[in-house]
A and B are shown apart, each in its own frame.
Chain A
Amino acid sequence: MSFNFIIILWFLFVITPILLKYFKSDPNKYWPDVKTLLDYVFRKVPKINSEVEYYAFRLVLVFAICLLYLSLKLEDSEVYSDTFIPTFIQILCLLNFAYLSYLMSDELFDTFWNSTISLFSFFFIFTLASGIINFILVETDWTIIWMNRRTLIVGPNFISQFGDEIWRLWPPFYLLMILLGAGYGTLGEDKKKFLIPYGIFCIVLLVALGYNAAYDSESKSGAIVSGPDSTWGTTYKYHIFDDTSEFPEGWEERTFDDGVWKSGKTPFGNNNLLIEETGKTIKQRTTWESNSTEGSGAYLILRKNFTIEDKSKILGATLKLAYPNYHAAYLNNQNIEDCLDEKSDCNYNNPDYWNREYDIEWDLLDEGPNTLVLVGQDDLSEGHDNMTWLDTELRLKISNQGFDATKALLYMAGAFMFGLLSFFCVHYYCQNSEEYIINYIQSILINLAIISFLVMIFLLDPPGEYEDDYFWNAEDLLGTGVKPAAWGGLVLNLIFATAALVVGFGMGIALAFGRRSNLPVFWMPSVGVIETIRSGPLVAWLFFAQILVPDLLNPVWEADIASRVILVLSLFFGCYLAEVLRGGLQAVPHGQYEAATALGLTPIQTKLQIELPQAIRTTLPAIVSMMIGMLKDTSLVYFFGIYDAFRVAKDLPAQWDFIGQHEQSLLFVGMIFWGLSFYLSKVSRRIEKNLGLTHEGGGDVT
Chain B
Amino acid sequence: MIERIALILILTLVLLPFFQKYLSSTVFYYISNTINYSLFASIYYILADSFVENTLLNLTPNRIQNLSIGFNILPEAVDLAWVPTIILSFVIALGFFLLQNGNITPRRYDLSIQFLAILAFLPFVLYFWTNILYLKENDSSWVFDLVFMEEMAGFTLSNEWPFQTVLQDTRWQFYRVGLLNAIRVVILSIIGSTIVGVLVGVSRLSRNRLLSSLAESYVEFFRNMPLVVQLFFLYTVVLGANLPTFEFIQDNTLFGWVYWSNRGIVGPGATIENMRYLLAAIVVYLGARTYIRLTERILPENSDRYSVDSIGKIIENILGEDQRNKSRMAVAVDIFFSISILIVLYGLFNIVEWNYKISFIEGILENDPISMFKLGIILFTLSALLRFKLDDLGFNNFTVDDSIEGQKNRLYLWSITILLMFVLFYFAILFKQPNLITEENGEPLGWGSWDWKEGTTNSISSVFLSLWIGLTLYTAAQIAEIVRGSIQSLPRGQVEAAISLGLSPYQRLNLIILPQALRSMIPSMTNQYLNCWKNSSLAFVVGFSDFYAVFTTIVNNVGQAVPVFLMILATYQAGSLTISAIMNYINSNVTKVKI
Contacts and interface: CB of A to CB of B under 8 A. Distances in A.
A238 B206 CA distance: 83
Contacts of A636: 228, 538
Contacts of B213: 125
Interface in B84-140: 100, 110, 113-114, 117-118, 127-128, 131-132, 135, 139
**Interface residue SS majority, chain B:** helix
Given A537-B535, A547-B561, A666-B237, A532 B491 contact: no
Interface string B8-47: 0000000000000000000000000000000000000000
A617 B290 CA distance: 54
Nearest to A470: B3
Interface stretch (B189-197, B218-226, B356-364, B385-393): B218-226
B432 to A, nearest CB: 34
Interface stretch (A214-222, A402-410, A673-681): A673-681
Given A117-B210, A121-B211, A556-B54, A548 B141 contact: yes
A535 B573 contact: yes
Interface stretch (A262-270, A282-290, A306-314, A694-702): A694-702
A646 B51 contact: no
B118 A521 contact: yes
Given A471-B3, A539-B548, A674 B221 contact: yes
Nearest to B215: A121
Nearest to A660: B241
Interface string A508-527: 00000000001111100000
Contacts of A107: 207-209
B215 to A, nearest CB: 9
Interface in A636-682: 636, 638-639, 646, 650, 660, 662-663, 666-667, 669-670, 673-674, 677-678, 681
B237 A662 contact: yes
A interface bracket (residues with beta carbon within 8 Å of B): 35 or more
Interface in B556-577: 561-562, 565, 568-569, 572-573, 576
A540 B564 CA distance: 11
Nearest to B570: A535
Interface string A112-147: 001001100110110000000000000000000000
Contacts of A522: 114, 117
B354 to A, nearest CB: 34
Contacts of B209: 104, 107-108
Nearest to B527: A579
A237 interface: no
A249 interface: no
Residue among B57, B211, B237 facing the most chain A CB atoms (10 A cut-off): B211
A589 to B, nearest CB: 21
Contacts of B220: 678
B336 interface: no
B224 A552 contact: no
Residue among A663, A669, A673, A699 facing the most chain B CB atoms (10 A cut-off): A699
Given A108-B209, A633-B226, A552 B113 contact: no
Contacts of A5: none
B414 interface: no
A635 B213 CA distance: 29
Interface stretch (B272-280, B375-383, B482-490): B482-490
A673 B513 contact: no
Contacts of A470: 3
Contacts of B257: none
Contacts of B569: 532, 535-536, 540
Nearest to B576: A535
Given A118-B208, A536-B534, A673 B225 contact: yes
A638 B226 CA distance: 13
Contacts of B132: 552
Contacts of A518: 110
A602 interface: yes
Interface string B227-259: 111101100110001000000000000000000
B141 to A, nearest CB: 7
Given A539-B548, A555-B54, A670 B540 contact: no
B537 A539 contact: yes
Contacts of A670: 225-226, 229-230, 233
A681 B223 CA distance: 10
Given A547-B141, A635-B229, A114 B208 contact: yes
B315 interface: no
Given A537-B572, A670-B225, A125 B236 contact: no
A378 to B, nearest CB: 46
B214 A125 contact: yes
A273 interface: no
B505 A519 contact: no
B233 A543 contact: no
Interface in A340-395: none
B226 A632 contact: yes
A540 B487 contact: no
B495 interface: yes
Contacts of B3: 470-471
Interface in A537-582: 537-540, 543-544, 547-548, 551-552, 555-557
Given A124-B214, A556-B54, A678-B220, A702 B229 contact: no
Contacts of A552: 128, 131-132, 135
A543 B226 contact: no
Given A537-B534, A539-B537, A628-B224, A702 B562 contact: no
A667 B208 contact: no
Interface string B539-556: 010000000100010010
6 contacts: A107-B209, A108-B210, A118-B208, A519-B110, A540-B537, A602-B100
Given A522-B114, A677-B223, 19 more contacts: A108-B208, A121-B210, A125-B213, A518-B110, A522-B117, A535-B576, A544-B565, A548-B562, A551-B141, A552-B135, A646-B229, A646-B232, A663-B237, A670-B225, A670-B233, A699-B487, A699-B488, A701-B206, A702-B202
Q: State the 8 A-B residue pairs at the shortest beta-carbon distance, nearest first.
A: A677-B224, A537-B534, A699-B490, A535-B573, A632-B226, A698-B488, A521-B114, A537-B537
